[in-house]
Amino acid sequence: MPKVKVKRTKPTLDMTPMVDLAFLLVTFFMLTTQFSPEEAVVVDTPSSVSEIKLPESNVIVITVDKNDRVFFGVDSKQTKEALLNKMAGKYGVGFTPTEIETFSLLTNFGVPMNRLKSYLAMESDARKKFDKNAPGIPVDSTNNELADWVHQTRLTNPKVVIAIKGDQDVNYKTVQKVINTLQDRKVNRFNLITDMENKPTNL
């Protein structure tokens, strides 16, 4: 009796489940990833070996760029909305709901109060262009609006911590003005934001 030859078939791999899984992963990361909002100014911070990390929320960041301009930023949409209303009352400036919404979405800004309303009325692209030559927030002894922003933010959210983010080429006198402003408001504890540097091996 002759042997029956079994027809050999090449094994196949159904990739459909893998494609479905990949699609689900892509969708998951698209929905859960939070992109960092664009800052009004970019600074090149000095490096240090400090390993202290800022908290992820309740943070005021005061940025000083290489042109000695001061920018102010705070997280939390709710805090920013309440803060702007407090500053509006103090300076007698009225903001529309649209302008308040726009302000709540800003990472930071560098304009005095008398120009903030027109700044918020700009389109996004126009604001980005304006930021390149923005005057910065006044921090002079005769007109220190930074002091008011810090004070009103702390009243709005007492939990905030304060950090200074200075460019490595900034004039130290400008940073000293910022520090003096904080100390005048009884803020003697604050953080300096730096780039992480490897610790020397001989220490």
Q: What does the pLDDT look like over 171-195, one tens digit per residue?
A: 999 999 999 999 999 999 999 888 7
Residue 11 lies in a domain: no
Residue 22 lies in a domain: no
Residue 85 lies in a domain: yes
Model confidence pLDDT, tens digit, residues 12-21:
666 666 666 5
In angstroms, the first-to-last Cα distance of the chain is 86
Pairing of strands 47-48, 195-196: parallel
The CA distance from 77 to 105, in Å, is: 7
Q: How many domains does the chain have?
A: 1
In eight-state DSSP terms, residue 164 is E
Residue 129 lies in a domain: yes
Residue 33 lies in a domain: no
Backbone phi and psi for residue 146, each to the nearest 5 degrees, phi listed first: -60, -40
Contact 70, 146 (CB under 8 A): yes
Residue 14 lies in a domain: no
The pTM of this model reads 0.77
Residue 100 lies in a domain: yes
- Domain hosting 154: range is 47-195
- Lowest-confidence pick of 133-137, 165-169, 179-183: 165-169
Residue 111 lies in a domain: yes
